[in-house]
Amino acid sequence: MLRFGHMALPGPLKRFFCSIANATTVLLNPTERVITIKNATNEDKKMHFPLAWLRDNCPCPVCYSASSELRNLKMMDFCPRVNAVSVQMSEQSESMTVSWDDGHSSSYRLEWLRAVAFGADTAGRQRPPLTRNRPVLWCDASKATAPIWQPKKVRFEHIMKSDAELLLTLLELEERGLVLIEDCGVDSEVVKNICKRLSFPRTTHYGETFEMRAEAKPRNLGYTSDRLDFHTDLPYMHEQPGVQALLCQVQASGPGGDSLFADGFSAAEHIRRSRPDLFRLLTTVPVRFRDRGQLADRRFDLVATHATIELDCQPDGEWCYRRVHFSNQQRDLLQAWPLADVQLIYDALKAFNDVIEGRDISSDSSKVQLQVKLRSGEMALFDNSRLLHSRTGFSGERQLAGAYLLWDEVLSRRRTLESQLQIGRQD
């Protein structure tokens, strides 16, 4: 039997209402197992709270650990079919109290309920913020004559000293995929320091940081002076670091040694519009990558498979680009591709590369890639899960120092800075 407050409610009651201050009404619907709070003057302001979700998110000290900001209610003690015995709104304490048939009682602040409510209709959802800000493409396919986007330049000292400057840099990295940092100096410790300012350097088989120069017997094609193909780094890893810092320590004094960056998402969007058949292959066919060899005294053999273009698809059909994986040099010779599809898969990979390289006559190449000759002491901070990078051939001495970071850690830094500087969504 349902009770409201101290009043027992009669019979097989489907719904009941209780008016409180400001014409706010609370309604328990035991059939749909939802509590609804609505304002009589505004039907659109309905807030829904599924019973299971309310019980699960009881904020009392038994069910919730305020110090760790984590749920303390154990799943083994939680019954998802729990029923509400009574619901009470208190105008004085601005709260709603629910008594449950498991003997527990939960009290929720109205301010909190407003912030976490499910949407206005019964199909409504909570609207958590996206885990990442949406990428802004370098090339807007609908504006053929738009000028090429130019990367933002920031000074090393400003990022290291100013939290606001650091936040702006992280937002730019997240939305555009590339930031240039000037006046870093040429000490390789600088790379480690910037990683620590952003989050932590992610150690790989190349070490916590790595240095890249032309070598007689290169263990990676990066360690030569040749022109490189456009690629993403570490495609042979599933837990792939998504951010890269690359410091120019010594730049080639003659021509060449320019860094090239291409927006993989803009290229993907171009393929999606012009060749949907190839886009389907690039988003679905797993490509196997491999890197093996020996560094110092340790052998390594890293293998991973990814679709060339990875999408982030939401249950409501919304989607955006998530990651791009492309490295001609590290694509394995063994692939699990059906014999009949091999030709078309090569066609698709080549078409993607053509757009990146600006060899696709139907695309405006200048909008997908940009070229910059880093000066010594200049650093490129870029999204390795989105941008493809390359360099032009050179002669003479040229040395770069680099490090990787995890997007999860960098995004965590961005969110906590927003909270600290009181920008964006607070929770």
* CB 52, min distance to Zn ion, A: 14
Residue with tokens 């389907």: 280
Considering the complex, state which of residue 45 and residue 104 has its C-beta at the smaller distance from Zn ion: 104
Considering the complex, state which of residue 49 and residue 404 has its C-beta at the smaller distance from Zn ion: 49
Contact 414, 280 (CB under 8 A): no
* CB 100, min distance to Zn ion, A: 9
Stretch touching Zn ion by CB under 5 A, among 60-68, 121-129, 141-149, 169-177: 60-68
Considering the complex, state which of residue 58 and residue 410 has its C-beta at the smaller distance from Zn ion: 58
45 in helix, strand or coil?
strand
* CB 126, min distance to Zn ion, A: 20
- Among residue numbers 305 through 334, which ones bind Zn ion (CB under 5 A)? none
Q: Which of 51, 63, 110, 184 binds Zn ion (CB under 5 A)?
A: 63
Class of residue 322 by CB neighbours under 10 A (exposed 0-12, middle 13-18, buried 19+): middle
Beta strands in 220-339 (DSSP E): 243-250, 259-263, 286-295, 298-307, 309-313, 319-324
> Distance between CA 270 and CA 363 in Å, rounded?
7
Considering the complex, state which of residue 69 and residue 316 has its C-beta at the smaller distance from Zn ion: 69
Q: What are phi and psi of 30, to 5 degrees?
A: -70, -20
Considering the complex, state which of residue 62 and residue 313 has its C-beta at the smaller distance from Zn ion: 62
* DSSP summary character for residue 235: T
Considering the complex, state which of residue 82 and residue 400 has its C-beta at the smaller distance from Zn ion: 82
Size, binding site for Zn ion by CB under 5 A: 4
Considering the complex, state which of residue 63 and residue 167 has its C-beta at the smaller distance from Zn ion: 63
| Distance from the Cα of residue 132 to its chain's centroid | 4
* CB 323, min distance to Zn ion, A: 40
* CB 66, min distance to Zn ion, A: 12
- Among residue numbers 339 through 358, which ones bind Zn ion (CB under 5 A)? none
* CB 60, min distance to Zn ion, A: 3
Binding flag, residue 60, Zn ion (CB under 5 A): yes
Considering the complex, state which of residue 76 and residue 339 has its C-beta at the smaller distance from Zn ion: 76
* CB 72, min distance to Zn ion, A: 9
Stretch touching Zn ion by CB under 5 A, among 58-66, 93-101, 163-171, 323-331: 58-66
Query: Which candidate, 164, 146, 144, 165, places its Cα nearest to that of 154?
Result: 165
Contact 355, 138 (CB under 8 A): no
* CB 104, min distance to Zn ion, A: 5
Stretch touching Zn ion by CB under 5 A, among 56-64, 130-138, 141-149, 295-303: 56-64
Binding flag, residue 79, Zn ion (CB under 5 A): no
* CB 93, min distance to Zn ion, A: 17
Q: Report which residue type is found at 133.
A: N
Q: Is the dihedral of CA 250, 252, 258, 259 positive or negative?
A: negative
Stretch touching Zn ion by CB under 5 A, among 22-30, 61-69, 140-148, 226-234: 61-69
Considering the complex, state which of residue 98 and residue 405 has its C-beta at the smaller distance from Zn ion: 98
- Among residue numbers 354 through 383, which ones bind Zn ion (CB under 5 A)? none
* DSSP summary character for residue 240: -
What Å distances lie between residue 114 and 19, 95, 120, 204, 273, CA to CA? Answer: 17, 11, 12, 45, 41
- List Cβ neighbours of 268 (8 Å cut-off, separation of 6 or more): 279, 282, 309, 321, 324, 352
For the chain, the residue count is 427
Q: Which of 2, 34, 47, 58 binds Zn ion (CB under 5 A)?
A: 58
| Distance from the Cα of residue 318 to its chain's centroid | 15
Stretch touching Zn ion by CB under 5 A, among 18-26, 50-58, 224-232, 370-378: 50-58
> Distance between CA 100 and CA 110 in Å, rounded?
19
Footprint of Zn ion on this chain (CB under 5 A)?
Answer: 58, 60, 62-63
